[in-house]
Each structure stands twice: as structure tokens, then as C-alpha cells.
Amino acid sequence: MSTLLAINNYHYPRGGGEGVFFEHNRLLSERGWNVVPFSMQHSKNLPSPWSSHFIEELEFDNPYP
């Protein structure tokens, strides 16, 4: 079985990009891939066995020091 690291900013349905992200992951999983998502932590995230590895949330609208 091949493993794919699937990276996206968000791990919840936020917009069209996330819809494509989840659909691609679903299609690849159906075809035998081990899909490992990687994203930011967020209260709206869908459950994932990998969520403990997600990075802390970054707010892109606010400047960081």
C-alpha cells in the first residue's frame, strides 16, 4: 500500500479548495492509498487519527511578531 501525505491549511469544509481536498483524499483511499492528512489545529476540524500531529493554528489575516 502506498502512503500519501495530504496537506491543506484547513481540515474542515471551509470552501471549494477544501471540498476538492476531501474528495481527492476519498478517491485515493478508495483506490488503496493510505491517505495521511496534515493541517492546522482548529475547533471546526473533522475528526482525524492524525490530528495530534497538526500544527498550531496560524491566523493569516493578522500579523505575527
Domain residue ranges in the chain: 3-53
Rg of the chain in Å (alpha carbons):
13
Q: Is the pLDDT of residue 26 over 60?
A: yes
- Give burial (CB, 10 Å; 0-12/13-18/19+) of 38: middle
Task: Determine the pLDDT at residue 60.
Answer: 67
Q: Taking residues 29-52, report their average pLDDT.
A: 96
Q: Taking residues 25-38, report their average pLDDT.
A: 97
